[in-house]
Amino acid sequence: MKLGVFGGTFNPIHYGHLRAAEEVREKLNLDKIVFVPSGNPPLKDKGLIDASYRYTMVKVAVSINRFFAVSDIEYIKKGKSYSVNTLKKLHHLYPGTTIYFILGIDAFIDMPNWWHPDELVKLTDFIVISRPPLKFTDISTSPFLGADEKILRKLDSGKIESYKTRLKSGREIIMLRLTPVAISATGVRKLIREGKSIKYLLPEEVESYIIANKLYKVVSGK
Ligand code: ATP
């Protein structure tokens, strides 16, 4: 069994996330993708709405795809959740399963700033997906990777679709070019604050939920 773990704030979930997860699953033949919305950090990040709303929106959005699921592992935990602990728990919950932690290029670049990233890179395999406007060559400076820049350039130019290699930790990393979907949650929140339409950026059910619960109207975004 091959499982993809897709973490994020999902504030809110949008078609950038959903399309990426679907393409990853199909291209790499994964059995399931588990979305893991982050919990409530003690000092709430600017613009981050309560985890119960974000969890429900993810649940609604993934319910129509039989290969998708949502996990409450971070959401039910009080205080800050760390990816390293979440991945440890998931490896424990799914013994004998290959678990890939799915990250956009932006998130992979940020990883050295996370809690115990050295442990995380030893714990699990990775899938790093394209995220415009960033490029795969942008991750060549990652301390966890010893990748061939020439191959990263081929990925960026579309000469190749994917690149499977090893992290310095010995774990597998698959870099994957996906259909660019330049949607961000920051952009969605901005449109809502400005009273503009968010139609076709996220599932209709999520849009209705946002409207019904008057989300993102009063909180100040990033
Ligand atoms: P924000 O704008 O609030 O920072 P976001 O849209 O980046 O949010 P996150 O919940 O932070 O969404 O992202 C979760 C994961 O999904 C990250 O690994 C991120 O790189 C990836 N991701 C988000 N949007 C896209 C997209 N449009 N295409 C590909 N990957 C994406």
User: Which tens digits make up the pLDDT trace of 65-106?
Assistant: 999 999 999 988 877 889 999 999 999 999 999 999 999 999
220 band by pLDDT with thresholds 50, 70 and 90: very low
Going from the Cα of 129 to the center of ligand 1, the distance in angstroms, rounded, reads: 10
What would the pLDDT profile of 30-70 be if each residue is shown by its tens digit?
Answer: 999 999 999 986 656 778 999 999 999 999 999 999 999 99
19 band by pLDDT with thresholds 50, 70 and 90: very high
> According to the model, what pLDDT value does residue 222 have?
44
Ligand 1 lined by 84 (C-beta under 6 Å): no
Ligand 1 lined by 181 (C-beta under 6 Å): yes
User: Ligand 1, closest atom to CA 104?
Assistant: 20
Ligand 1 lined by 107 (C-beta under 6 Å): yes
Going from the Cα of 103 to the center of ligand 1, the distance in angstroms, rounded, reads: 8
User: Ligand 1 pocket test: which of 9, 86, 130, 190 has the largest number of ligand atoms within 8 Å of its C-beta?
Assistant: 9
Residue 27 CB contacts under 8 Å (≥ 6 apart), including other chains: 161, 162, 176
> According to the model, what pLDDT value does residue 45 have?
72
Nearest CA to ligand 1 atom 19: 104
Tokens of 76: 């039910």
What would the pLDDT profile of 148-204 be if each residue is shown by its tens digit?
Answer: 899 999 999 999 999 999 999 999 999 999 999 999 999 999 999 999 999 999 999
What is this structure's pTM? 0.95
Domains in the chain (CATH in brackets) are 2-182 (3.40.50.620)
> According to the model, what pLDDT value does residue 177 have?
97
What would the pLDDT profile of 118-143 be if each residue is shown by its tens digit?
Answer: 999 999 999 999 998 999 999 988 99
Nearest CA to ligand 1 atom 14: 8
Ligand 1 lined by 37 (C-beta under 6 Å): no
